[in-house]
Amino acid sequence: MLGWKEILLRITLAIIIGGIIGWEREKANRPAGFRTLSLVSVGAAVVTITGYLSVYQFLGLSSFDPNRMAAQVVSGIGFLGAGTILREGFSVRGLTTAASVWTVACLGIAAGAGYPLAAAIGTVIIFVVLRIFNSIEKRMHQNKHKEMVLDFSCKNITKILVALSRMIPESKGTIQDIVMEKQEGKMLSVVLKIKFYIPIAENEYNNIYEEIQEVEGIENVEIIVPF
């Protein structure tokens, strides 16, 4: 039978695990942060501990499997992770955070089941993956661009938008966040963002910019926010 000290120790380990991974997600400005992942880890640990305590309660009365409740956590935590996934056009964001939610639940189960070494090693590995692998991924894409913000003048914005839409197929990117102001005469001052679904290499980025400069009716084109 588990004593209160052992239960407290396991739950404390679970909240430390959730706090460490949650802190990393919080620093990355992700929707599931410090409090969310701490609660997920503690909840998984409590469910696992309850499963083990139930074995003693129903000893001799039922062939109760203590791991059955923990198994439900693994399969059921998906709804929370799904809430962190966002779709923007053809791109999907939040998969890493969703995976973090599921993994933290698994670590909480390990802590609740009384395997602190497995929980601790798993926490360190996950933290390394989230922090160091993120830096490596950024270096891999340091010469690529995810968006292009343009400042230009024109008379007929509809004509320009049609030309840009033909130039950038839907499978590659989309036009977002258009801001227009009237200038003297019939000219419009336009700030427009092109969002790429896949990071664009430097040479392709420059080619797109050169093509935009050659669009008929567009004037004084400048990139104001290079990624």
pLDDT digits (tens, 9 = 90+) for 207-220: 888 888 888 888 88
pLDDT digits (tens, 9 = 90+) for 149-183: 888 888 888 888 888 888 876 667 788 778 888 88
- Round to whole Å and give the CA distance between 38 and 101: 10
Query: Measured between alpha carbons, how far is 227 from 223 in angstroms, rounded to an integer?
Result: 10
The residues pairing with 191 across neighbouring beta strands, listed in sequence order, are 151, 179
Kindly indicate the confidence band of residue 89, based on its pLDDT and cuts at 50, 70 and 90.
very low
Count of CB atoms situated within 10 Å of the CB of 176: 13
Residue 200 is encoded by which pair of tokens? 């664009």
The pLDDT, as a whole number, for residue 12 is 93
Cβ partners under 8 Å of residue 154, min gap 6: 160, 187, 188, 190, 217, 218, 219
Question: Is the pTM value of this prediction over 0.85?
Answer: no
The rounded distance, in Å, linking the Cα atoms of 11 and 4 is 10
Residue 100: name the closest of 9, 13, 23, 16 by CA.
23
Lowest mean pLDDT of 5-14, 51-60, 126-135, 175-184, name the range: 51-60
Q: Going from the N-terminus, what domains does the chain have, and what CATH number goes with each?
A: 4-140 (no CATH), 144-223 (3.30.70.60)
DSSP designation for 168? S
Percent of the chain with pLDDT over 70: 84
Give the Cα separation of 70 and 101 in Å (integer).
Answer: 15
Interval 116-156: pLDDT, tens: 999 999 999 998 888 887 777 667 656 567 788 888 888 88
Task: For CA atoms 16, 21, 26, 32, give the dihedral sign.
Answer: negative
Q: What is the mean pLDDT of the chain?
A: 81
5 SS3 class: helix
Residue 185 has pLDDT above 70, yes or no: yes
